[in-house]
Amino acid sequence: MSYRDLRDWISALESAGELKRIRTAVDPILEVTEIADRTSKAGRKGSLPNLTPGGPALLFENLTGHPGSRLLINQFGSERRMKMGLGVDALDDIAERIRELLNMKSPEGFMGKLKMLPMLADMGKLFPKTVPTGPCKEVIKRTGFSLLDFPILKCWPQDGGRFITLPCVITRDPRSGKRNVGMYRMQVYDERTTGMHWQRQKVAAEHYRERLRMGAAQAAAGARGAAVDIMARSSGGSMLAEGNRPGGKMEVAVAIGTDPALTFSAIVPAPPEVEEFIIAGFLRQQPVELVKCETVDLEVPANAEIVLEGYVQLDELRPEGPFGDHTGFYTLQDDYPVFHITCITHRKDPIYATTIVGKPPMEDGWMGKAVERIFLPMMRLTIPEIVDVNLPVEGIFHNLMLVSIRKSYPGQARKVMHAIWSLGQAMFTKCIVVVDEDVNVQDIAEVTLKALNHIDPERDIQFTLGPIDSLDHASRLPNYGSKMGIDATRKWSTEGFQRPWPDEITMDPAVKAIVDKKWKNLGID
C-alpha cells in the first residue's frame, strides 16, 4: 500500500493502532524530545515495558506557544511502521524487487524485446510528474512569514537553538540539472534564515562546491579579458547566471511533511545520478507529483505540508550548532552555509513532521535498518561474495558493520573491507568485522563468540586512513582519521596458518531428536 500524503499516512497509522494523539499541553522546547525519547526506547530494560518496541507514533495537538498546531514524531519508530510506510510485509521484499531490477538482462531477439515492453512501461510510470498545483499551495506567503510560527523543536539542552530535523532539502546539480533530495538538519537563526548542515561528503554540498567552482572559473575568465565580459553584458546578460558568479546564490527548496516513502528516500545513499523522486516512486509504486515553486526554479512535492523556498548565498558561512546528534554526543559548533527564505507555502492547518536523534535506540535506528536491508543487493552488485550485513543500532550506522562472506581465496576478507570503504557513504565505516558465511551477523552474540575466537589480534586486525564522518568527535582531524578492519574468518594454510582448525561443538542430530521426544516429560518447562 502507498500513501498519497502525510495525512493519508497518519490515518493508516491510527487505524492500525500505531498512533497516539497527545492532547496534554507540551512545550516543543525540550519537552517533546523527552516524551519522544522515552517512547522510542519502549521495550528496553527499565523503559516503558508495556509498550511494543519503539512505542507508537505521536501526534501532539496542544503545543505550548503554538495554538492550533500539530506535530508528528516517531512515525518510523518501529519495524512494523517502517514496513507499513514502505508498503511491504518484510523489508527484504524491497530488496528482492531491487535484485530483480538489477538482474534484468538485455533482451535477445525481437520477441525478447517485446516481452520487456510492459516492464519498461511500468518503470516509466514511476517517474515524477509535474502538476499545475497541489495542497502545498493552499496558503502562499511571500511576505509577513515567520519560521517561528511552526512548532520547531529545541531537542537537547545544549543545542544552539531550534532545529528542523526531518526536511527534504531539494537542490539541483548546476551542470547536469539533476535534482537531489537530501535530509540535512537546519538550525533556525531567526524568522527567515537557517543554517544548512551540508556535510562535505553529501550531494548537496557537492552542488554548492560546483557552484563555487563555476563562479571562480568565470571570475578567472573575466580577469583574462574585460572585452569578453563587455560583449556578454551587451548581449543581454553575463555568461553564467547570477547564481553561478562569485558571491551569487544557489537556489534551494525544502519540503516538510511528505508521504513516508518520499521522506525515507531523502536518507537513502543513492548514486548521485539517480533522483530521489524516482526512488520514492519505485518504493511507493506510483509517481511523485511535483509543483513549481513560487520564487525559485525548483519543483517540490505537491502534497507536502510545508514548503520553504529560498537560496544559499555562496560567500556566506555562519556558526551552526551545537546539536545533540545520533552519536549520543553533541556535534560541536562549526561554520555552514546560510539558507535565506524568500517564500513559505503550506497546507491549511499544516502538520509539522519532525524527529529527534540521540542515544540509540531511537526512530532513526529503524530507518537505518531499512536502508541496510534495501541496499544489500546494491552492495552485492559490487561485492558479490557478501552474504549478509548488519549495522547494529548501537554502532550508530557508521561505527560498526558486521559482514558475512562466502570465502573462496586467501585474503578475501581484507579485499571486502577495502571494497566497502570505497562505496559511497560506507566509506565512513569506522570498524568492519568480516566473518564466514555460516555466521549469522544478525545475532550479535554469535558474532562476538565466533569473531573473538577466530582472531589473532596482531595478525587479523588492520588499520587504514581515510575520510571519517563529520560527526566523529574522536578522529585525529575533522573528517579524516583511521578505520579498522577485522578478519574473523577461518584462516587457511594459504594464508600462512599451519595449525589444525578445530571443529565447532555441536550435538549429534539423532540425540537431539531423541531428547525432543522426551522433553515434555522432563518437566523442565
Q: Divide the 525 residues of the chain into consecutive groups of 10 and give the mean pLDDT of each group.
A: 93 97 97 96 70 89 97 96 93 78 55 51 78 97 96 97 97 91 96 93 87 76 50 33 58 97 90 84 92 97 98 94 93 95 97 95 91 87 94 88 96 96 90 96 95 95 91 88 96 92 93 95 90
Q: Is 310 within 8 Å of 341 (Cβ atoms)?
A: yes
Domains of the chain: 6-79 (no CATH), 128-208+241-353 (2.30.110.10), 383-495 (3.40.1670.10)
pLDDT at 486: 97
pLDDT at 215: 77
> For 381, how many CA atoms within 13 A lie in the half-sphere containing its CB?
15
pLDDT at 470: 83
C-alpha–C-alpha distance, residues 420 and 428, integer Å: 9
Annotated active-site residue in 325, 364, 469, 472: 325
Retrieve residue 485's grid coordinates: 578492519
pLDDT at 43: 74
C-alpha–C-alpha distance, residues 56 and 39, integer Å: 7
∠ CA 356-353-276, nearest 5°, is 95
Other C-beta atoms within 10 Å of 446: how many? 14
pLDDT at 221: 64
Q: What is the pLDDT of residues 333-371, one digit of tens each?
A: 999 999 999 999 999 999 999 999 999 989 999 999 998
pLDDT at 100: 66
Q: Quick one: what percent of the chain has pLDDT higher than 70?
A: 88
Give the H/E segment covering residue 317.
Answer: strand 306-320
pLDDT at 205: 87
Range list of β-strands (E), 399-460: 400-405, 431-436
Read off the pTM.
0.86
pLDDT at 123: 63
Q: What is the pLDDT of residues 26-67, one digit of tens each?
A: 999 999 999 999 999 987 765 666 667 889 999 999 999 999
Q: Is 354 within 8 Å of 63 (Cβ atoms)?
A: no
CA separation, residue 383 to residues 46, 206, 324, 415, 434 (Å): 41, 26, 35, 9, 13
* Residue 149 known to be catalytic: no
